[in-house]
Amino acid sequence: MTEKLYFVKQHVSNACGTIAVIHAIANNLAELKIETGPIYDFVKRTIHNNPEERGHLLGKDEAITRSHQVTSKMGATNPKDFIKSDFHFICFTMVDSHLYELDGTRKFPINHGPTTRQQMIKDAARVIKTNFVDKTPGELFFSLLTLGPASGHEVFPQEELEPHEDTIDISKVNELVAMGFPEELVLTALKLKNNNTQRALDYLLNSNSEKPDHAAAPLENQILQLMNLGFDRESIVSAFQKNNGNFDQTLNYLLG
Based on the residue annotation, tell me whether 91 is a catalytic residue of this protein: no
> How high is the pLDDT of residue 156?
41
Based on the residue annotation, tell me whether 16 is a catalytic residue of this protein: yes
Structural domain that includes position 81: 16-133
- pLDDT band, residue 40 (cuts 50/70/90): very high
Cα–Cα–Cα angle for 191, 192, 197, rounded to 5 degrees: 70
Query: Are 61 and 111 contained in the same domain?
Result: yes
Distance of CA 131 to CAs 45, 88, 101, 222, Å?
A: 34, 15, 11, 21
Q: Of 49 and 184, which is predicted with more confidence?
A: 49
pLDDT tens per residue, range 46-100: 999 999 999 999 989 988 888 767 766 665 556 565 555 668 899 999 999 999 9
Query: Are 183 and 225 contained in the same domain?
Result: yes
Q: Which of 11, 48, 56, 88 is catalytic?
A: 88
Q: Is 150 a domain residue?
A: no
Kindly report the pTM of this predicted structure: 0.56
CATH number of the domain bearing residue 68: 3.40.532.10
* Total number of domains in the chain: 2
Bridge partner residues of 62 (DSSP): none
Q: Which of 16, 23, 91, 98 is catalytic?
A: 16
Q: Is 138 a domain residue?
A: no
> How high is the pLDDT of residue 103?
96
Query: Are 94 and 46 contained in the same domain?
Result: yes
pLDDT tens per residue, range 108-135: 999 999 988 888 888 999 999 999 888 8
Query: Are 167 and 58 contained in the same domain?
Result: no
Q: Is 2 a domain residue?
A: no
Query: Are 119 and 164 contained in the same domain?
Result: no
Query: Are 113 and 163 contained in the same domain?
Result: no
C-alpha 8/C-alpha 43 separation (Å) is 10
Query: Are 98 and 166 contained in the same domain?
Result: no
Q: Is 6 a domain residue?
A: no
pLDDT tens per residue, range 138-180: 777 788 888 876 655 554 444 443 444 456 778 888 888 877 7
Segment 26-40 mean pLDDT: 89
Long-range contacts of 184-191 (CB under 8 A, 24+ apart): 185/209, 185/210, 191/166
Query: Are 22 and 113 contained in the same domain?
Result: yes
Query: Are 22 and 104 contained in the same domain?
Result: yes
Q: Does residue 231 register a pLDDT over 60? A: yes
Query: Are 208 and 244 contained in the same domain?
Result: yes
